[in-house]
Amino acid sequence: MIYLDHAASTPVKEQAREVLLESLVEDFANPSSAHKLGKMAMKKVEKARVKLLKMLGASKKDQLLFLSSATEANNLVIRGLELAAEDRVHYSLGDHPSTVNPVASLNSRLVAIELLSDGDIDEEKLLASLDENSKLIVLSHVNNQSGNIYQVETLAKKIKVLFPKIHIHVDGVQGFTKVAISLDGSIDTYTISGHKLGAPKGIGALYLKQGVLVEPQLLGGGHEFGLRSSTVNTPLILSLLCAVEVAMTKRVEELVRLKELNSFVRSELLESGFDISFPFPLEKTSPYILSFIFKGVSSDIILRHLEMKQIFVASSSACSSKAKGFNAGFAAMNIDDSLHKFVLRVSFNDSTTKNDLCEFIKEFKETITDIKRIL
Amino acid sequence: MYKNLIINIDELWLKGKNRKYYFKTLKDHVKIVLKAHAKDEYIKLRNEQQRLVAESEVGFTKEAIASLVKVPGISTVQPAISVEKDKEAILPAIIKKLTEEIGDKKHVTFKVKCKRIDKSFPHNSMDMCREYGHLLLKEFDQLKVDVRKPDIMIDIKVMPENIFISTEKLTATGGLPVRTSGRVVTMISGGFDSPVASFMMSKRGCSQDFIFFYAYPYVGDEVKDKILKICSILGEYQRGCRLYVVPFGEVQNKIAKTCHEEYRTILFRKFMVETANLLADRVKADAILTGDALGQVSSQTMRNLQVVDNFSKRIMLRPLVGFNKLEIIRLSEKIGTHDVSVIPHDDACALFSPKHPVIKADPKYMDEYSIENNLTDMLNQALDDSEVYSIDVLGEVEER
C-alpha cells in the first residue's frame, strides 16, 4: 500500500500509540478528582501543556487548551469572540471549511482575503482592506489544498503595527511540526490537530495568547480554564505530546528530505509528456503537500483507478469530496472553474520514501495511458 | 388517527375464476405492509365483498396509509370512522368529524353519499343522504351543498357488521397485485426513465429484481448511493425485492478497447442485456425490463433496439417506448424518484460515449464481435461478485 493522503489524516506514530495504550491503562482517573490519582493525571496534563507551549515558541503565560479537534478549536475562536454586526472579519475562501463555515455563520461583515495566482495571500490588498472596524483575521499557516505556506508571523506583525487590536487567528493544522512557527505575540490564537501529525483522532489544541478572551461554547464542569468543559482526556493529550515531540526532533531534516522528494515528483510528472501543471510552486508551498492539475481525466476517476492498485491520493479536500465540479476553494485560488475537477493532491509524511513515489509515478502514468486509450 | 381503512381493489371486476387468487395475493401484500408499520400490534384484516377492511386498535399512521396507497392492485383507500349499526349513531359521528375538518373555514361545500352494502338495513340510501344533508346544513352555518365538486364528500357505507363514515378517498397505484404477472429483471440506472419503467410494471403486477451496472472505477460511490435511494423508493411498490450491483467497469474497459468506437454504447447495452438474462436464469425471471423510449438517444433507435433484442433470451419489456421525456419526468415526480434522479452523477456510458454513435447498428458486426468476444464467463463472474441488497416493503435497504 502506498498512502499519499497524509494531509487528510496520517497514521498514528508508533511511539504515540505506545504512550496512548500505556496511559489508557494507567491514567484512568479523572484529572479533576481531588484524590492523588486524579492529581497525578492532572500533573501529566499540565506538563504536556507547558511542553507544547514551548514547542510552539510561546510564553509560559500563554494558554493552551486541549479539545477534540481543530474544527472545535476554530469554532471556539471564531464564534467565541462574539463579534458585533458592524465588525469586519477577513478570511480566505480558499481555507478549510472548519474556518470558512464558522466565519460564514457570523452576523458580522465578511471580507474575503484575495489570493495571488501562485496561491499566496495578496498581502498588499489585505493590508489595504483593513480598517478600524476590522476585528478578526482568519488565516491558515499552510493551506490544506494548495500547500501554500503563508508567512503568518511576519504578516501578523505588519497587521498589528497598523491595527494592534485586530484578533489574528491562525489554523496551524497543516503547518505545526512541519514548517517553523514561533508564537511570539502577534498571533492571538493558533489551532493544532492531533491526527494530522501522528496522534490519534479526537484530540486537538488551541493556543491563546495571554489575555485573549473567548466565550466558551460548551458549558459544564469548567475544565480547561472554564473555556472548554469536558472531562480532560489524559491518554489522548499525552499521545499528542509524544507525536509532536517525535516530529519536532526531525522537523528540519524532514523538511529538506521532502523538499527533494516533492521536487522529484514534480519533475517526473512534468517529463511524463502528459498535460500536467503545478499551480502552486514548490518555493511557496509546504513540501508535505503537492497539488497538480492533469487536464483530461476527472481526478476522482484517477483516484479510484489508483486505489485499485492500493495507492491512495486525494481528489479534493476529504471533507468535501462529495461536492462535484465547482470548488469554491479552488476558485479563491484562481484556478479556472473548468479545471477544478482535474485537481489531484498527494501529501506525504516522514515515512514516505522515494520508492513509494517512484511506484506512484509509474502507476499514475500507466493508469493515464490506459484511461486515455478508451476515454 | 383512523382505526379503520376501507381498501378498494382495482381490476378485480376484470377477473373471472382467478379472482380469488388475485384477491388473496393482494390481501397478503396489504397484511405485510400494515404489519411492517404496526410493529407489535395485531391488525385485523377482513374481506368485505369486493374490498378489504383493516382495523387497528391504536389507529393507522399517516405513513402506513401512504405506504398502502403505493401497493399495486389497490384502487382507493378510505380512512374511516366505524359506528355501530344504528341510524342514531351516524349523525354525531359525522358532526364530530366535520367539526375537525371545517376548523375555522368560513365556506365549505359538501355532499353526502350513502351506500348499503347490507341491503337488510331498513333505511334506504337516498333517504339517508337527504336526511343527513338537511341535518348538517342546520348544524353548520358554513356548509353549502355542492353535488358536483364538493370540498368534503361524506361517504356513509352500511356494512354487514357496522357503518363506516369517511370523508377522504385516496387514489392508490391501481393495476394488479405484485406477483400475479410474473417476475422480471429490471435494468436500473440513475436517470429518470428506468425507475418510471419499474413503476409501470409494478402496477401491472410484476415482481422485480433490479440490476445495476456499476462502472467502478469510472464512476464512484455517489452513483451507487443514488441507485440505492432510487431502489428504496421503488421497493415500496414491490413486495420485497433485490438489487444486484454488478461490477462492470472491467467489462466496459474491455469492450471499449476492442470494438469500433461508434459501437461502444450499443455493445455495452448488448452485454448488459446478456448479463440481465444471466441473472434472470438465476432468479427464474421471465422478462427483462428497461426504460427505453423510442428514439430518445442513439441506442434507442428502432434498429438498435431490435439488434439488442436479438441477444436477449427473454422478452424485453419497454413500458416507456411511446413516452415523451416530459411525460416520463412528470411520472417520476408522481412516484417520488424525480428528486433523486435529478441529482447529477457521472454516467459511465456518457464517459465512454463515442463522438458519433452508430444509429443503425449492423447486426453482422454485432454477431461477429460477439463471437470473437464471448464474455459469458466474465459476465457470470461479475454477477458472482455483485453486491446484493434486499429491499423491504417500507423501502428499507439491507446489504445481504
Please give the Cα distance from A100 to B380 (Å, whole number). Answer: 49
Average pLDDT over residues B53-80: 95
First to last CA, chain B: 36
Kind plus residue range of the DSSP H or E element containing B316:
strand B315-317
Predicted confidence at residue B122, as pLDDT, reads: 87
Q: Tell me the angle at which helices A234-249 and A36-55 cross, rounded to the nearest 10 degrees.
A: 30
Q: pLDDT-based confidence at A316, cuts 50/70/90? A: low
The interface predicted TM-score (ipTM) is: 0.83
Burial category of B138 from C-beta neighbours within 10 Å (exposed 0-12, middle 13-18, buried 19 and up): exposed
Grid cell for residue A227: 473555556
**B217, B153: one domain:** no
Instruction: Assess contact for A13 and A198: CB atoms under 8 A.
Output: yes
**B132, B48: one domain:** yes
- The answer, for B218 touching chain A at a CB cutoff of 8 Å, is yes
Q: What angle do CA B285, B290, B293 make, to 5 degrees?
A: 150
The amino acid at residue B121 is F
Instruction: Assess contact for B196 and B291: CB atoms under 8 A.
Output: yes
Average pLDDT over residues B308-327: 97
**B235, B381: one domain:** yes
Supply φ then ψ for residue B282, to 5 degrees.
Answer: -70, -40
Please give the Cα distance from A363 to A344 (Å, whole number). Answer: 15
Place of cell 417476475: B183
CATH number at residue B96: 3.30.2130.30
CATH number at residue B328: 3.40.50.620
Interface of B with A in 311-350 (CB under 8 A): 344, 346
**B153, B272: one domain:** no
- Highest mean pLDDT range out of A23-37, A321-335, B110-124, B346-360? A23-37
**B224, B350: one domain:** yes
- Least Cα distance to A283 among A123, A121, A172, A148 occurs for A148
Number of domains in chain B: 2
Residues of A with Cβ-Cβ distance to B257 under 8 angstroms: 373-374
Residues of B with Cβ-Cβ distance to A321 under 8 angstroms: none
**CB under 8 Å to B291, separation ≥6 — which residues?**
B187, B189, B191, B192, B193, B194, B195, B196, B197, B198, B318, B320, B328
Q: Which of B115, B142, B171 is the last residue of a domain?
A: B171
The whole-chain average pLDDT of chain B stands at: 94
Residue in A298, A304, A370 nearest the CB of B216: A304
Residues of A with Cβ-Cβ distance to B344 under 8 angstroms: 324
Residue B45 in any domain: the answer is yes
Average pLDDT over residues B50-66: 93
The dihedral through the CA atoms of A193, A198, A203, A206 has a sign that is negative
* Best CATH choice for the domain A2-9+250-374 from the list 3.40.640.10, 3.40.50.300, 3.90.1150.10, 3.40.50.150: 3.90.1150.10
pLDDT at B152 over 70: yes
Average pLDDT over residues A339-354: 96
Average pLDDT over residues A260-288: 96
Please give the Cα distance from B293 to B195 (Å, whole number). Answer: 13
Q: Which of B146, B171, B196 is the last residue of a domain?
A: B171
Q: What angle do CA B40, B44, B49 make, to 5 degrees?
A: 155
Q: pLDDT-based confidence at A324, cuts 50/70/90? A: low
Average pLDDT over residues A251-258: 98
Residue B178 in any domain: the answer is no
Please give the Cα distance from B125 to A247 (Å, whole number). Answer: 89
Predicted confidence at residue B351, as pLDDT, reads: 78
**B277, B351: one domain:** yes
Where in the sequence is the domain holding B36, given as residue range(s)?
2-171
Range scoring the smallest mean pLDDT among B39-53, B106-120, B217-231, B379-393: B39-53
Q: How distant is the Cα of B376 from the closest Cα of chain A, in angstroms? A: 22
Residue B104 in any domain: the answer is yes
**Rg (Cα) of chain B, in Å, rounded?**
26
Closest-CA residue of A relative to B264 is A374
Residue in B217, B257, B346 nearest the CB of A305: B217
CA distances from B351 to A317, B68, B219 (A): 24, 40, 9
pLDDT digits 0-9 by tens, B72-117: 999 999 999 999 998 889 999 999 999 998 989 999 999 999 999 8
Residue B142 in any domain: the answer is yes
Grid cell for residue B226: 443514488
**B166, B197: one domain:** no
Asked if the Cβ–Cβ distance from A308 to B220 is below 8 Å, we say: no
Please give the Cα distance from B171 to B114 (Å, whole number). Answer: 19
Q: How distant is the Cα of A304 from the closest Cα of chain B, in angstroms? A: 5
Is B303 known to sit in a ligand binding site? no
Share of chain B above pLDDT 70, in %: 100
Average pLDDT over residues A358-374: 93
The whole-chain average pLDDT of chain A stands at: 95
Instruction: Assess contact for A293 and A335: CB atoms under 8 A.
Output: yes
Query: What is the DSSP code string of B148-163?
Result: SS-SEEEEEEE-SS-E
Predicted confidence at residue B12, as pLDDT, reads: 79
Burial category of B230 from C-beta neighbours within 10 Å (exposed 0-12, middle 13-18, buried 19 and up): buried
Share of chain A above pLDDT 70, in %: 98
Closest-CA residue of A relative to B253 is A374
Instruction: Assess contact for A185 and A47: CB atoms under 8 A.
Output: no
Which residues are paired to B165 by β-bridges? Answer: B81, B156
How is chain A split into domains, by residue range? Answer: 2-9+250-374, 14-248
Q: What angle do CA A58, A60, A63 make, to 5 degrees?
A: 80
Average pLDDT over residues B133-147: 93
Q: Tell me the angle at which helices B264-283 and B376-384 cross, rounded to the nearest 10 degrees.
A: 60
- Least Cα distance to B379 among B263, B217, B246, B245 occurs for B246
**B80, B203: one domain:** no
Grid cell for residue A26: 494507567
What is the assigned CATH class of domain A14-248?
alpha beta
Closest-CA residue of B relative to A373 is B257
Please give the Cα distance from A88 to B54 (Å, whole number). Answer: 63
Asked if the Cβ–Cβ distance from B256 to A374 is below 8 Å, we say: yes
- The answer, for B216 touching chain A at a CB cutoff of 8 Å, is yes
Residues of A with Cβ-Cβ distance to B261 under 8 angstroms: none
Closest-CA residue of A relative to B255 is A374
pLDDT digits 0-9 by tens, A146-174: 999 999 999 999 999 999 999 999 999 99
pLDDT digits 0-9 by tens, A39-60: 999 999 999 999 999 999 999 9
